Structure 1
Amino acid sequence: MPPGPQRAFSDTSPSVRPAWLTILRRGTDAVLYSSTLVALAATGLTWATFLFWRHPIPFRLVALIFAATLFLYNIDSVLPYKYRQQAVLSARKRWIIRHRRALLGLALGSLAVAGVLFWTDGWRPLTLFLGHLAAISLLYSMPLVRRHGRWRALRDLPLLKIFLIAYVWSAITVWVPALYLGKALGEPEVLVLFARRFFFILNLALVFDIRDYTKDRLSGTRTFPGLFGLRATKLLGLAFLAVSALLVPPGVSAHHLLVLTVPTLLAGAIIWYADETRPDYYFALLADGLLLVQFGVAYWVA
């Protein structure tokens, strides 16, 4: 069996591991498993949308997106019922369990920051719109109904997981900038960019379905890898990427489009080589980090 997550850096035992390597690993774990990288990725994708439309992103919106993402992901990770259903404990899950109180504090602090920014920056007219995205995010993993002796959440509906994730991420990173800039959500440039982002995120969501293959199977959650197998799932992910690449927003130059293919090619490689036995860093660093690559590409060509 390939090395597990605990061997992500080296086989050096903790007693002889250099101090700098221990510090590096602990720092990396903290950034990845506290969802800080995910929050940076959400902020980066939102910023990339502003760059595409050639508008500066306001700092307070950066802070709002970052804080709201940090809250939603960390409050999800500390839900009490999750600790009663862990059949497979990865290095990531063990880290989260050890730092559960700190993550709860981080989530509550992030909620306070997001709440102040939401209230003071004029977002209240969009309470229903933003509220439905928050509701989907909160109910994604929260137990809603008990069926056959198990609590079920939105993510447990067959094959729904990836579409919920792609919808929320696309709405936050495309529709929120559009609304801020006064663009109608039905405008062609908004619709095409939303669809392009949606299919790109669908591929990455399948990567995490592959990571959670055994856990989802044991918990009874029916996902694409569980129902159709890993190879079919990877081919589906590549198909999603192909659709995303074909959805070219109006006004994109040939040079811009060529550079935008870089994240697409990287995403294809990540899903093709994805396997649940790979270290947690493969998913937390490469898959989530790819979203920052998209921002870097958008910043470079802007």
Structure 2
Amino acid sequence: MDYVDLTDEVKLSRVVLGFWRYLDWKLSKSECIAFIEQVLDLGITTMDHADIYGDYTVEEAFGEVLAGRNDLKKQMQVVTKCGIVYPSAAARVKYYNTSTEHIIRQAESSLKKMQIEAIDVFLLHRPDWFGDPENVAEAFYQLKKAGKVKSFGVSNYLPHEFRMLQSYCEEKLVTNQVEASVLCMDNFENGTINLCLENRIHPMIWSPLAGGRIFTSDQAHVKALRKVLTVIQEEVGAQSIDEIAFAWLLSHPAGMIPITGSGEIDFVKKPVEALKYPLTPEQWYMIWTAVHGVKVP
């Protein structure tokens, strides 16, 4: 497994285990511990969460599974997010909240639920169009000073949103967690990935297999993509086209960090295997061309 340094204090594994669909795994506590042990044995040490996952239940479930297992916790880096508020008895609509009080409260809640001493990377889950960046900067300052968070970043931020927030923050934003896959190239084309290169940060990638559409869609461009993925699979000796889809991301010079959300170890192995297959520029653009249906400009 490869690892990337985000700060002098924080490094992440090149593949991350995501807990967004944790409730769908339907694992008992003992099964979940055994699964996490297998994941750690693969070298995947980074766990991705958010306060809202599982309707605000997953962080606590994770903490309960790992209660008393400091031997496993010591091997992990924990990433989590805040900023989205779902409708509830206390919220009439879904909205964003990046006030100083909310950020600190959610960070402290995540620490308590997961039964950990510090969050390695704390992200704002969405840009907040009503947010005051001075309040965000103050929250980050207080959490860092208290030793509750080691580093900070964002998720789903466009370049201008990232630059604006960074201009207020004393702490360097260490990542931007965005959607990208062989079927979702928007963040390559809107400058988001280039901004990561500009700032020497590694983007985290959610939905790296496009929600499974590379296997299931009957759209013409997806069929064309599958043919090209199969050609490259055979060229490099990979076992499956999803390994090539992961390799497409992992080969990029931005040092992308894809998140796999599977609760089955055979599927978690796919992006790890993909690290063995760096794609050539020709192979990378074969995939781009198949999806777009035209040659590059």
TM over 0.5, shorter chain = no
Higher helix share: 1
Higher strand share: 2
Question: Which of the pair has the greater relative contact order for Cα pairs under 8 Å at 6+ separation?
Answer: 1
TM-score by structure 2 length?
A: 0.28
